[in-house]
Structure 1
C-alpha cells in the first residue's frame, strides 16, 4: 500500500520563509533566482556543443582546479593516487563525450585529466541524493483537472557538500533539429545527463 503524506495549504515551511543572509544567501524557492539556462545543440559537432558554457565559466573552472588536490589529500596514499590519476584520466569510454570534454578543455585551458575527473568523480563519489515521490490527486482542488491526477516527481539534490560547486549549477536544454528534447539541472562542465526530464 502506498503512503502519501498530505500537507495542508496553510502549512508554512522554514525553507520557503527563510531570509537570505550575506554569509549564506539562499534563493527564494518560489520565483527567486534560477540557474542560468544554456542550450546544447546536439546537431553541432560534439567538440562545439559545450563551448559557450566553457567560455562563460572559464574563470570559475580555474578557481576550482585546486579542489581536485584537496579531495585527493583526504585519501591515503594521495600522492600516488594523484600521479596515477594524471596518468590514466585521459579519456572516457564514449568517444562522443570524449570530444565534448575536449571542447571544454579547448576553451577553458583546464588539463584534460581534470575535466575527465570532474565528469567521472562526481558520479563515482555517490554524494548526490536522488529519489522519487508520488503526488496524489489534489484534495484541495475545487474542480478536478488532468493536472491534479497522480504524478511521479523525480529529484536529484546535487548535495555533494562542496560549496565550490554551487556557482556551477546550470540548466541545460538539449536540442535536436531546433526542438528541445530534454532539460537537465547539472553542473557547468559536466557533459551528458545524469537526470533529465523530457
Structure 2
C-alpha cells in the first residue's frame, strides 16, 4: 500500500530562473548568473578540492597548472564561456575547468519518461551527485551534494528574445544534464559505469586524441540544434563520446520515449516506450536495463514498483514527483528533482533534502557496513506516492 504516514520528505524550495542570451558573446553570457552565485561558486571550489581523492594541495597544483591549457582545446563556444565564468567568479581557470569535467564521471541519477492514457508525455529526473566526495559524519550527508544545492538554477536559453531551450543546471557548469526544447523533446543524461569509462576519454583528450565529444557538450548541442525527437535520437546515438552514458529522451508524440545506452564509441541499445507491449514508461538509473542493478544501489526496483502502482491512467507530474520522492530513489545524494511536460513546454525543479532513514545502502555502508551485509535493514522502506507534490 502506498502511504505518506511513515515519514516526511523534506522539500528545500524552488529553483531560481535566469536567462542566458545566446546572441551575447560567449564570455559574457553567464555574467549575471555568476555574479549572483559568486560566493557559492567559490565555496564549492574549496570544498570539492578538499574532498577529492588526492591531497588537496597537490590537486590544486595540478589543476592550476595543467587544466588552463585544456580549456583552449574545448570546442566553441564552451572554452570562451568557461573563461568568462572564471573571470566573473574570480575562481582560477583550471578549477572552473575541473568543475565542468567532474560531471562527466560522478553523476548518479534516476530518469523516467512516461506516457499517460491520453498520449501526453511526462519526463522526470533526480540528479544525484557527490558519491565518495566527502562524508559529513555529524550531519550524515555528502559534503559536495549539500554545497551544490545553492548552485541549482533553471536557465532559459534565448536567441532573438525567444526561448531555444530550458535547462536545470549548476551555476558555473556550461554543459547540460537536464533540459527541454519546448513542444519538441525533453532530455536527461545519466552516468553509465564502465571499465572503458569517462576517465579514459578525458585522459585521451588531454593527451591529444580528440575525436570524441564531451557528453554534456553533446546534450547542449542537441538541445540547441536538433529539430525533432528523431533528429535528437540520431545525434545522441551516433556521436562518439568521451564517456559512456545513458540518454533519456522524450518526444511530443505517442510512443516517443527512449533510453539510449551508450558506450564511448557506439549505441549499444535503444529501449523505447511500446504501448503494444504494455510498456508505457522507460526508467533508467545507472545500470543497463537488461541487467540487474548493483544490490547496494537498487533504486530501479522501488521506482518501478511505484510507477506500476501509480498506473498509466494516473501518471502526471504530481505522481511522477511522488515516485521520485520514494526512498531510496530520493537519497542523500539527491540535489534536485526536475519535472518536464513537453506539450506545455514546462520545466520545474525543486531542491531536495532526504531525512533519515535514507534506505540507501551505499550511504548506510559508511556507518553500518556489517549490518547491511549480514542482515536486512531494521526498517522496511514504505513507498509513499501520494500528497508530496508541492504545486
TM-score (norm: length of structure 1): 0.72
Q: How far 1:150 sits from its partner (Å)?
A: 4.8
The partner residue of 1:42 within 3, 8, 22 is 22
Partner in structure 1 of residue 98 of structure 2: 117
Q: Which secondary structure state, in structure 2, belongs to the residue aligned with residue 54 of structure 1?
A: helix
Alpha-carbon separation, structure 2, partners of 1:52 and 1:58: 10
> What is the 5 A alignment of 1:138-153?
148-153=118-123
Alpha-carbon separation, structure 2, partners of 1:168 and 1:45: 23
Q: Does 1:53 align with 2:36?
A: no
| Aligned-residue CA RMSD (Å) | 2.6
For structure 2, the 5+ residue unaligned runs are 131-141, 182-391
Q: How far 1:13 sits from its partner (Å)?
A: 3.9
**1:179/1:103 CA distance change after superposition, 3 Å:** same
Q: Which secondary structure state, in structure 2, belongs to the residue aligned with residue 134 of structure 1?
A: strand
Per-residue Cα deviation, 1:16-47 (whole angstroms, up to 9, x for no partner): x8375xxxxx23xxxxx321100100000001
Partner in structure 2 of residue 180 of structure 1: 163
Native 8 Å contact 2:64 2:93 kept in 1: no
**1:56/1:155 CA distance change after superposition, 3 Å:** same
Native 8 Å contact 1:68 1:114 kept in 2: no
Q: How far 1:95 sits from its partner (Å)?
A: 3.2
**1:63/1:14 CA distance change after superposition, 3 Å:** farther
- Larger strand percent: 2
Partner in structure 2 of residue 170 of structure 1: 153
The partner residue of 1:93 within 74, 80, 85 is 74
For structure 1, the 5+ residue unaligned runs are 1-6, 21-25, 28-32, 138-147
Native 8 Å contact 2:157 2:166 kept in 1: yes
Native 8 Å contact 1:132 1:155 kept in 2: yes
TM-score (norm: length of structure 2): 0.38
**1:171/1:113 CA distance change after superposition, 3 Å:** same
